[in-house]
Amino acid sequence: MPLELTKIRNDFPILSQKVHNKPLVYFDNGATTQKPWEVINRITEYYKTENSNVHRGTHYLSQIATDHFENARKYISEFIGANNQRELIFTKGATESINLVATSMSDYINPDDEIIVTAMEHHSNMVPWQQLCLKRKANLKHLTIQPDGSLDLNELEELLTISTKLLAISHISNVLGTINPIKEIVRIAHKHNVPVLIDGAQAIAHIKVDVQDLDCDFYAFSAHKAYGPMGMGALFGKAEWLDRLSPYQFGGEMISTVSFNRTTFNEIPYKFEAGTPDVAGALGMEAGLRYIDKLGIDNIRKHEDDLLEYATAKVKEIEGVSVIGESKDKTAVLSLVIEGIHPFDLGTLLDQMGIAVRTGNHCAQPLMSCLNISGTLRASFGLYNTKDEVDIFIVGLKKAISMLV
């Protein structure tokens, strides 16, 4: 079903403003998405009428806040197809989710063990594993990318050995837009008894995620890239893994009993949720995902794929422009380089025209090194973007190029 874009855009108050006296064209959704009234109002309502610390409180506000907090966990678990809400840990975002696993897995990594990442990973899904390998004297290996931005699964088969202890991979590349074949990748890794962590930060708002169908061991994602608040996210982990791993922060709800000599920890998911949780963030995250659900993820995917196809065809008509990442299975991201022009200069000029894009290495310096470029100009689309906005972007891009050549 086609999205009702006029109605949808009215749900996002920030989209009605002007930037440098020009209508805002927001094509930086890969960095963060804008927030609908449902999210803004839910967070406001919590602070107006429900604000209290959760769990163990006997008074009315605490009980209401606890119920809503745990209901949010239940809904978010169901949104990603988790088997049980015990398998969903609230975090500050995908980065903290990945760091949680990397830190907690330290006891299971020994000298000469191996961890595999891919060349397309965001720093947040590379540096934690790199540092873990340095600490434990293990080896970090990487899967290369093909010229079109896809992965060669035959190479993955060759990289996996009896020493491989984990595979960490993005669901969708934040630079290339490539949708990796996660289900097949997990199948290959599990054949070698290797657990798999998925960085789903770029996927959660764009394609259907079903962790049971994917059979992944961990899935990390953020609220703010799915129309929810910043500073909030979640980690799915199979219970068999979460029960085994040790907590990496201490205090608050993750405690069961404490004496001067010994501490026992709470059951999952609470043993990984130290300190006071971001209750408003959890409710805002739930509201953002409910907004996606209301529109239908398949409808959103179709709309964004149409935008990407339209925009890609338009930019290819411009002399000197090269598209970075042309995998046959990609979505929502269009990365460009323009011969002889630095992306930062283009981005600065586009901003003066009211067009928000992202420029630079996009926290993927190893990928840029593999591509032999310093950075790209990235336009990333969301459910509220339109073909009219793409036309404005194309006109602006042509004008900016003419000013810089």
Would you list the domain boundaries of the chain? 5-31+296-404, 40-293
- Of 371, 366, 329, the closest CA to residue 125 belongs to 366
Positions marked catalytic: 363
The CATH number assigned to the domain with range 5-31+296-404 reads 3.90.1150.10
- Of 279, 314, 319, the closest CA to residue 90 belongs to 279
Burial call 266-276: b when 16+ CB within 10 Å, e when fewer? bebbbbbbbee
Q: What is the pLDDT of residue 56?
A: 84
Q: What is the pLDDT of residue 120?
A: 98
Q: What is the pLDDT of residue 1?
A: 82
- Alpha-carbon 137 to chain mean position: 29
Q: What is the pLDDT of residue 349?
A: 98
Sequence-separated (6 or more) residues with CB below 8 Å from residue 127: none
pLDDT tens string, the chain, 405 residues long: the values are 899 999 999 999 999 999 999 999 999 999 999 999 999 999 999 999 999 999 988 999 999 999 999 999 999 999 999 999 999 999 999 999 999 999 999 999 999 999 999 999 999 999 999 999 999 999 999 999 999 999 999 999 999 999 999 999 999 999 999 999 999 999 999 999 999 999 999 999 999 999 999 999 999 999 999 999 999 999 999 999 999 999 999 999 899 999 999 999 999 999 999 999 999 999 999 999 999 999 999 999 999 999 999 999 999 999 999 999 999 999 999 999 999 999 999 999 999 999 999 999 999 999 999 999 999 999 999 999 999 999 999 999 999 999 998
Alpha-carbon distance of 310 to 218, in angstroms, equals 34
Question: Which pTM value belongs to this model?
Answer: 0.97
Looking at domain 40-293, its CATH architecture is 3-Layer(aba) Sandwich (3.40)
Amino acid at 214: L
What are the tokens at 5?
Answer: 């874009």
Alpha-carbon distance of 27 to 397, in angstroms, equals 13
Alpha-carbon distance of 39 to 262, in angstroms, equals 42
